Amino acid sequence: MARAEVDLYVNTYQSFSDWDICAGHILVAEAGGRVTGLRGQELRYGLLGAHQRHGLLATNGIVQAEALKGLT
């Protein structure tokens, strides 16, 4: 994503740790992309258990809305 080689990435894991995705989240966001849960919700880090349970959608930002439509 950060190197502009793909337009989106979908992760459907039931649960994954904050540290598994936080660095990638920063890279995508700094490159102009968007990272959210599979329903478009903001990912929140540092919560009890340090786990994400909403899946993950990372896009170049341009295709985010269309990708979310396809996931719901």
Higher-confidence residue of 22 and 3: namely 22
Q: Output the CATH code of domain 8-71.
A: 3.40.190.80
Please return the burial class of 13, using the count of CB atoms within 10 Å of its CB with bins 0-12, 13-18 and 19+.
exposed
Domain positions in the chain: 8-71
State pLDDT tens for residues 17-53.
998 999 999 999 998 999 999 999 999 898 887 788 8
Question: Is residue 37 helix, strand or coil?
Answer: coil
Q: Are 33 and 1 in contact (CB under 8 A)?
A: yes
